[in-house]
Amino acid sequence: MAVSDKPVVLITGCSDGGIGNALARAFASEKCPVVATSRSVNTMKSLENDSRVFLQELDVQSEESIGRALANVYDKFGRIDVLVNNAGVHCVGPLAEIPLSAVKNTFDTNVYGPMRLIQAVVPHMATRRKGKIVNVGSVSALAPGPWAGAYSASKAALHALTDSLRLELGTFGIDVMNVVPGAIQSNIGNTSVANYSKMPEWKLYKPFEDAIRARAKFSQNLNSTPADELAKKTVAAVLKENPPAWFTYGKFSTGSAILYHLPLFLRDRILRIVMKC
């Protein structure tokens, strides 16, 4: 794969059926060399025949895996212009009973994973005084409801880190962008249900089990925004000379912003009705 003058883009979490996979295809359609990563290249079969996409194993929870992956990328392309921290896991369960191991795994992937990539890539970008870091958050961080508190908290933490990074890295010519998807059609519903099946039987919250289980697939209804649509809009924003600091798109994105600004008593009342708690 010859290196073009288009930005070299590294994306985490590119398994088939997900947002990262759609982003990889959208960047490639703009003629960008793309490094699509996942814990296993076998999960990225749909990208195998795209000549602009280089598949690379990368586990965001492992510094060693990140180091190996970046060494391969620098050897092949000589640079990374855009880092997209997309890899993430959902986590559903009442906070008073959910195993702390599940909460830790959520933060290790959704918060510490991006930080590992950022700390590994920033020295390279700072030397070149050029680069873009894109963190994929969630509208659930704007109005956290019941049953997915660990996930919402991890995305809220990522939003806060992104705001700080934007100020800290601007001095090195590095743009930092927060992408905040709404309800997007992806494989997150299936993986969330699979993860939920490993949870213990609830005690205090046994009467709410149907509502809790429904939360695992809440974003995957028939009106959810297609991942390809989100990806196309996101890529257009990222490739701007001066990308926006905040970009949100998709089902519930406007509604979540409205909830964020409502008085807490009113927001709580709405979420109690919607989430049946």
Given 6, 45, 132, 151, the catalytic residue: 151
Please confirm, yes or no, whether 112 is among the known catalytic residues.
Answer: no
Question: Can you tell me which residue has the tokens 């008593």?
Answer: 265
Secondary structure of residue 180 in the 3-state scheme: strand
Distance of alpha carbon 129 from its chain centroid, rounded? 25
User: In 3D, which of 139, 53, 52, 145 has the Cα closest to residue 44?
Assistant: 53
Cβ count near 105 (within 10 Å): 17
User: In 3D, which of 83, 5, 30 has the Cα closest to residue 235?
Assistant: 30
Please confirm, yes or no, whether 104 is among the known catalytic residues.
Answer: no
The answer to whether the CB of 239 falls within 8 A of the CB of 7 is yes
The answer to whether the CB of 118 falls within 8 A of the CB of 10 is no
Given 155, 196, 205, 251, the catalytic residue: 155
Secondary structure of residue 114 in the 3-state scheme: helix
The residue ranges of DSSP E strands in 129-224, in sequence order, are: 131-136, 174-181, 184-185
**How many whole angstroms separate alpha carbon 6 and alpha carbon 9?**
9
* CA 28 to each of CA 21, 61, 72: distance values in angstroms, whole numbers, following the listed order: 11, 26, 19
Residues marked as catalytic: 151, 155
